[in-house]
């Protein structure tokens, strides 16, 4: 027995020596694996640079396994040599149960969703703090409002039919919209479209537990459309000249209401769908699919009228088009008047979305700022620090004597409780902006910009493929119900 044991040790030493030589010459490592089948040990040879857990699964027919090294579970996606696997390493291969695998996948999915939400929020916050240059970045109008940013990201995920991830972003957008005033929400259609998108995700995910919430959201969407577009859509006709493109929103609204109420859902289908052959005729005229769909809907299916409509849009002068585009967007109206976009957003929030009140706030603040700029040299001449002098002038509405007295009473340094929040915000914004050059921040910005559509009517450009599928499904439900009766 002793002799046999010594011979075994000698053989192992020889094999180990050969393995070391092979590893030095060819970089092929010798690994000892303890497989789950009858605890069988195998000697596995592979170059560490290309060694992954997927290779073990494929070679030994193992579907769901974990790889354990020194009591530590190795990462499936990462190369094993980067996780401490070396020549002659001994590893245990454990089979993972279906329930455990599902739990891990669910945790991974939630982590990915949370990371995506954080990246989206960070990206749009960075964009909102950057200099507003509409000529180079025309889509910053959306990026400045976090709610619209989450909505854009959610719609991008919906187009890829990633409804689970999309719903997370849409609910975040809904949460941000809830912080806006009711006047603002009633003047734009973004909130109503968001409610439709959320319920559309409920439908796609077959989330029956969300039926009551979906019904309430559809009711809010319908009320919001009436407030924004007017009764019988008069306001929409006055702004855009027609309602054809927005009909797809009502089609989706009625379809979802029909799904919840289990009634006929085909009322608007003939008017909103582009009939077979019509889009081809528009394509032959040299228009894109998007232009053809929107043009035909705007002209109720008339090909000749649609061609004229699209051509007119292409030759439309910039200021007139901007005027129509901003007619129902209070934020953009203020920006078009020349006010700073960040200040405009803050003023709208203070005025609960009322454009006139926001304009007054901005005008008063501009006059106060002008008085501060005109009077600050006098305080600087007296030896006071510029930031302190400007803050004192702001607090005293530009009164030089009162500002000087205030600074003298505080030895030239105003206490934090006297400094208005806007100064703090400006300071923090400057600090935040200075850090936006990091690779991580640039990656976050690039990701969110990739999800923003550059076409202002992208939310109306629905192919109606999913809507048609839902109509067929509803018709089958109704047919079965009729046969049963």
pLDDT digits (tens, 9 = 90+) for 322-381: 444 443 356 566 666 666 666 777 777 677 667 777 778 877 776 556 555 565 666 666
**Over the stretch 11-33, which tens digit does the pLDDT of each residue have?**
666 666 666 666 666 767 777 77
pTM, entire model: 0.45
Beta carbons of 194 and 177 less than 8 angstroms apart:
yes
pLDDT of residue 197: 92
CA atoms within 13 A on the CB side of 419: 16
Q: Is 106 inside any structural domain?
A: no
Same domain as 70, residue 11: yes
Exposure of 255 by Cβ count < 10 A (0-12 exposed, 13-18 middle, 19+ buried)?
A: buried
CA distance 368 to 393: 9
pLDDT of residue 269: 45
Same domain as 122, residue 35: no
Q: Kindly indicate the confidence band of residue 218, based on its pLDDT and cuts at 50, 70 and 90.
A: very high
CA distance 361 to 334: 11
Residue 204 token pair? 């796609």
With CA atoms as reference, report the closest residue to 300 among 248, 225, 229, 231.
Answer: 248
Beta carbons of 296 and 282 less than 8 angstroms apart:
yes
Number of domains in the chain: 3
More confident residue, 150 or 278: 150
Q: Is 91 inside any structural domain?
A: yes
Neighbours of 306 (CB within 10 A): 28
Residue 239 token pair? 């702004």
CA distance 200 to 8: 68
CA distance 417 to 395: 12
More confident residue, 287 or 31: 31
- C-alpha separations of 371 from 330, 339, 384, 408, 478 in Å: 27, 17, 17, 20, 71
pLDDT of residue 12: 63
Q: Is 62 inside any structural domain?
A: yes
**Over the stretch 226-239, which tens digit does the pLDDT of each residue have?**
887 777 777 767 76
From 131, 153, 179, give the residue that closes a domain. 179
pLDDT of residue 228: 79
- C-alpha separations of 445 from 149, 165, 328, 469 in Å: 11, 19, 27, 36
* pLDDT surpasses 50 at 134: no
Same domain as 74, residue 22: yes
Residue 180 token pair? 């806006």
CA distance 326 to 141: 11
Beta carbons of 384 and 412 less than 8 angstroms apart:
yes
* pLDDT surpasses 60 at 396: yes
Give the lowest-confidence range in 61-70, 311-320, 428-437: 428-437
Same domain as 120, residue 82: no
From 392, 426, 460, give the residue that closes a domain. 426
Q: Is 340 inside any structural domain?
A: no
The enclosing H or E element of 21 equals helix 2-26
Neighbours of 302 (CB within 10 A): 15
pLDDT of residue 16: 66
Q: Is 123 inside any structural domain?
A: yes
Q: Is 232 inside any structural domain?
A: no
Q: Kindly indicate the confidence band of residue 141, based on its pLDDT and cuts at 50, 70 and 90.
A: very low
Beta carbons of 427 and 126 less than 8 angstroms apart:
no
* pLDDT surpasses 80 at 175: yes
Return all residues near 152 (Cβ < 8 A) that are at least 6 apart. 142, 448, 451, 452, 453
pLDDT of residue 432: 42
pLDDT of residue 142: 44
CA distance 203 to 207: 6
CA distance 247 to 27: 65
Q: Is 142 inside any structural domain?
A: yes
From 179, 202, 222, give the residue that closes a domain. 179
Rg over CA atoms, the chain: 32
Give the lowest-confidence range in 7-16, 38-47, 107-116, 402-411: 38-47
- C-alpha separations of 111 from 107, 114, 118, 165, 331 in Å: 6, 5, 11, 11, 35
What's 13's domain CATH number?
Answer: 3.10.20.90
Q: Is 138 inside any structural domain?
A: yes
Neighbours of 14 (CB within 10 A): 10
Beta carbons of 447 and 119 less than 8 angstroms apart:
yes
Same domain as 398, residue 355: yes
> Per residue, what are the HEC states of 253-288?
HHHHHHHHHCCCCCCCHHHHCCCCCHHHHHHHCCCC
Same domain as 122, residue 39: no
Beta carbons of 403 and 379 less than 8 angstroms apart:
yes
pLDDT of residue 482: 58
Highest mean pLDDT among 1-5, 91-95, 190-194, 392-396: 190-194
**Over the stretch 441-484, which tens digit does the pLDDT of each residue have?**
777 666 666 666 655 555 555 566 777 787 787 777 667 655 55
Same domain as 89, residue 6: yes
pLDDT of residue 424: 45
Query: Domain range holding 131?
Result: 116-179
The enclosing H or E element of 72 equals strand 72-73
Query: Reduced to 3 DSSP states, what percent helix, strand and coil does the chain have, rounded to the nearest 5?
Result: 70, 5, 25
Residue 366 token pair? 């501009």
* pLDDT surpasses 70 at 313: no
Exposure of 132 by Cβ count < 10 A (0-12 exposed, 13-18 middle, 19+ buried)?
A: middle
């Amino acid at each position: 027995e002793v002799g046999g044991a010594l011979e075994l040790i000698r053989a192992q030493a020889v094999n180990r020596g050969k393995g070391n030589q092979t590893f030095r010459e060819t970089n092929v490592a010798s690994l000892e694996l303890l497989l789950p089948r009858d605890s069988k040990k195998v000697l596995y040879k592979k170059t560490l640079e290309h060694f992954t857990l997927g290779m073990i699964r494929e070679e030994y027919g193992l579907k769901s396994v974990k790889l354990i090294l020194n009591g530590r579970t190795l990462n499936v996606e990462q190369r094993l040599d980067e996780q401490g696997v070396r020549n002659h390493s001994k590893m245990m291969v454990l089979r993972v149960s279906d329930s455990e695998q599902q739990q891990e996948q669910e945790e991974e999915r939630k982590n990915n969703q949370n990371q995506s939400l954080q990246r989206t929020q960070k990206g749009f916050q960075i964009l909102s703090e950057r200099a507003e240059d509409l000529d180079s970045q025309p889509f910053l109008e959306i990026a400045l409002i976090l709610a619209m940013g989450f909505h854009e990201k959610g719609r991008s995920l919906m187009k890829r039919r990633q409804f689970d991830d999309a719903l997370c972003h849409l609910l975040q957008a809904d949460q941000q919209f809830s912080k806006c005033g009711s006047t603002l929400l009633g003047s734009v259609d973004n909130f109503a479209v968001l409610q439709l998108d959320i319920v559309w995700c409920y439908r796609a995910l077959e989330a029956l537990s969300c039926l009551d919430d979906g019904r309430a959201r559809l009711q809010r969407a319908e009320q919001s459309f009436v407030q924004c577009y007017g009764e019988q859509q008069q306001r929409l006709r006055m702004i855009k000249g027609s309602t054809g493109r927005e009909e797809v929103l009502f089609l989706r609204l009625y379809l979802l209401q029909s799904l919840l109420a289990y009634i006929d859902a085909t009322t608007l289908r003939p008017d909103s769908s582009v009939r077979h052959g019509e889009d081809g005729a528009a394509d032959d005229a040299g228009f894109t699919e998007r232009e053809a769909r929107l043009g035909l809907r705007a002209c109720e299916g008339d090909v000749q009228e649609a061609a004229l409509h699209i051509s007119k849009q292409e030759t439309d002068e910039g200021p007139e088009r901007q005027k129509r585009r901003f007619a129902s967007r209070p934020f953009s109206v203020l920006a078009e008047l020349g006010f700073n976009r960040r200040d405009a957003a803050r003023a709208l929030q203070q005025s609960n979305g009322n454009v006139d009140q926001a304009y007054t706030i901005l005008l008063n603040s501009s006059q106060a700022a002008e008085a501060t700029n005109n009077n600050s040299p006098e305080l600087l001449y007296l030896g006071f620090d510029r930031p302190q002098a400007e803050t004192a002038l702001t607090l005293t509405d530009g009164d030089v004597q009162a500002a000087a007295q205030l600074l003298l009473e505080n030895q030239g340094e105003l206490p934090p409780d006297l400094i208005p929040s806007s100064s703090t915000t400006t300071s923090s914004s400057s600090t935040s902006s200075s850090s936006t050059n990091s690779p991580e921040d640039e990656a976050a910005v690039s990701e969110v910009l990739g999800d923003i559509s550059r076409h202002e009517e992208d939310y109306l450009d629905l192919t109606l493929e999913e809507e048609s599928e839902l109509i067929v499904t509803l018709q089958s439900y109704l047919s079965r119900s009729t046969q049963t009766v």
